[in-house]
Amino acid sequence: MRILLAAGGTGGHINPAIAIAKEFKSRDPECEILFVGTRRGLECKLVPREGFNIEYIEAVGFKRKFTPENLVVAYKALTSMIHTRSIIKDFAPDIVIGCGGYTSGPVVMEAVLKKIPTLIHEQNVFPGVSNKMLAPRVNTVCISFEDAEKYFTHSKRIVYTGNPVRPTLFTVSRQSARLSLKLDNRPFVVAVGGSLGAGTINKEMLKLTRKVSDNVQILWATGNREYDEIMSRVGEIPPNVKISPYIYNMEEILVAADLVISRSGAITLSELCATGTPSILIPSPNVAENHQEINARALETRGAAVVICEYELDGEVLYKTLSDLIENNKKLDEMGSNARKMAKPNATSQIYDECIKLLKA
């Protein structure tokens, strides 16, 4: 088998594609896999690090309003299509899989035109521009949230697979995780805003740590970009609060946590569901089509999370929401149970199975 994967930009697009590639390799070590991406996105680092080959094209996104810059974008789109045609001709894939980002558009569309089997995977509830454009034309659309189905009404086939996440999220036990982290019986709250950090979450956590009682244990990951500034402002750190620039052992942390405060990127939410962890979600407003809030509402409507938009935050909202939740074990248990009901532990293998169906059709 020869598998071509197109994904680019952020880890939210690239990591699911890498998980799919690994699934193919685990099932068929002899299969050949090639990624297509850009040199500007994280794929240029993440894909080679995982040992996969990658070709680069000049795909970029159009501005939503007419600007002279779109003329340059149009030229790059044309050259990327020509380059994509050459890649597909040389590699001769049996199937082409798109996982979102600007790269998916020209690569998957060229495969459609050449009548090569195609599948796209959408990580968010609200689909990105590339996937919305491709959905009516590809053979299969895999969605990660049930709520996404209404955006793909003209698709040939829709399959609810969920997002590929780390398998260890389903295997680490809560007892062993808390033991490993040296936690006591007090509630354990984790605040995280991504690898670089989220300024709004850090601002609110700075206020919260100054007033929270010692009946809760807190791990606050500031992100690498903001760690030094936060440490210069935090003053005396209470003994029940630990501050770190980044969390490397996220599986253990999520399994051990009683409550997580975070943004609402698609993969983050899928991991919270996998571990059955209640959450306070503060969606980033600086994303296309406000998709983080749409993601977060999918959990909130099922009783798995509480959503606080940035415009709703002030000095007391986060503190009061946190305090109310950690004092209500029944509520936390219900939220955790509801989150776990949304988990899709076999997402990667199900996507693989859908690909095999297309290859055998």
pLDDT tier for residue 197 given thresholds of 50, 70 and 90? low
For the beta carbon of residue 9, count every other beta carbon within 10 angstroms. Answer: 21
The pLDDT assigned to 168 comes to 86
pLDDT above 60 (res 66):
no
Same domain flag for 155 and 99: yes
pLDDT above 90 (res 11):
no
Sequence letter at residue 187: P
Would you state the structure tokens that stand for residue 346, as one six-digit string?
């076999």
Q: What is the mean pLDDT of residues 74-87?
A: 79
> Any idea what the CATH number is for the domain that residue 44 is in?
3.40.50.2000
The pLDDT assigned to 65 comes to 53
Interval 241-274: pLDDT, tens: 999 998 989 999 999 999 999 999 999 999 999 9
Same domain flag for 134 and 41: yes
Same domain flag for 158 and 257: no
Same domain flag for 314 and 214: yes
Same domain flag for 155 and 233: no
Sign of CA dihedral 85, 88, 92, 94: negative
Sequence letter at residue 140: T
Contact between 159 and 354 (Cβ < 8 Å): yes
Q: What is the mean pLDDT of residues 186-213?
A: 86
Task: Give 22's Cβ-side CA count (13 Å radius).
Answer: 17
Q: What is the mean pLDDT of residues 196-216?
A: 86
Same domain flag for 112 and 179: no
The pLDDT assigned to 117 comes to 98
The pLDDT assigned to 64 comes to 47
Contact between 105 and 130 (Cβ < 8 Å): yes
Angle, helices 317-326 vs 199-209, to 10°: value is: 70
Number of structural domains in the chain: 2
Same domain flag for 351 and 291: no
The pLDDT assigned to 134 comes to 94
Q: Cα–Cα distance between 43 and 104 in angstroms, integer?
A: 13
Range of the domain at 115: 2-163+345-360
DSSP secondary structure string for all residues of 19-68? HHHHHHHHH-TT-EEEEEE-SSSTHHHHHHHTT-EEEE----PPPSS--T
- According to DSSP, residue 266 is labeled H
pLDDT above 70 (res 76):
no
Q: Cα–Cα distance between 150 and 158 in angstroms, integer?
A: 10
The pLDDT assigned to 69 comes to 60
For the beta carbon of residue 113, count every other beta carbon within 10 angstroms. Answer: 12
The pLDDT assigned to 166 comes to 87
Same domain flag for 337 and 353: no
Same domain flag for 20 and 106: yes
Interval 122-171: pLDDT, tens: 999 999 888 999 999 999 999 999 999 999 999 999 999 999 998 889 98
Would you state the structure tokens that stand for residue 8, as one six-digit string?
């680019």
Give the residues across from 3 on adjacent strands.
Answer: 33, 95
pLDDT above 80 (res 319):
yes
What percentage of the chain has pLDDT greater than the value 90? 75
Would you state the structure tokens that stand for residue 284, as one six-digit string?
């980033």
Same domain flag for 89 and 9: yes
Q: What is the mean pLDDT of residues 286-313?
A: 94
pLDDT above 50 (res 62):
no
Same domain flag for 88 and 103: yes
The pLDDT assigned to 41 comes to 85
Same domain flag for 219 and 291: yes
The H or E element containing residue 241 is: strand 241-244
pLDDT above 70 (res 37):
yes
pLDDT tier for residue 98 given thresholds of 50, 70 and 90? very high
Q: Cα–Cα distance between 200 and 207 in angstroms, integer?
A: 11
* Sheet strands (E) in 85-145: 95-98, 118-122, 140-143
